[in-house]
Amino acid sequence: MFDLCMFSPPYLAINDKEDPLKGYTCPGRGYYEYLRDMERIFSKIKKLMRSNSHTIVEVSNMKGNKVTPLAFDMAHVLSKVMHFEGEIVIGWEGKESPSGGKYSYGYDHSYCLVFKN
């Protein structure tokens, strides 16, 4: 059993065609199915967490041809599994992103979504 889980899922923009859960190497089933997959994964994580433990999910909204409110949608979907306690905003301006380059999702920040089991 775990007291804390932190993760950043592979991102999917609303218009992306590849499946991020398969390394972006094959066709995906769409944005809303991806969110359902995240809910299923989060349900499995919940089973590994102690009572009153926390899970933190680092995620960003994304700009492109169409804005993808991924952080907001993820908070909504995952709150069906664990209690959503809020977010911590991380500013990335002038900083390296988790992938090693400048933060490239169209915003200068991301969110650490905090959930309690």
Rounded to whole angstroms, what are the CA distances from 5 to 20, 61, 69, 77, 87?
Answer: 20, 21, 23, 17, 15
Q: What is the pLDDT of residue 100?
A: 53
CB 50 within 8 A of CB 5: no
Q: What is the pLDDT of residue 63?
A: 86
Mean pLDDT of 36-47: 97
Mean pLDDT of 43-57: 97
Q: What is the pLDDT of residue 58?
A: 96
**pLDDT tens column, 62-114:** 888 889 999 999 999 999 999 999 999 988 766 555 555 555 666 778 999 99
Domain count, the chain: 1
Burial of 101 (0-12, 13-18, 19+ CB in 10 A): exposed
Q: Which domain holds residue 40?
A: 2-116
Mean pLDDT of 42-62: 96
Q: What is the pLDDT of residue 65?
A: 84
Percent of the chain with pLDDT over 70: 88
Q: What is the pLDDT of residue 88?
A: 96
CATH code where residue 97 lies: 3.40.50.150
Q: What is the pLDDT of residue 64?
A: 80
Owner of token pair 């090693």: 100
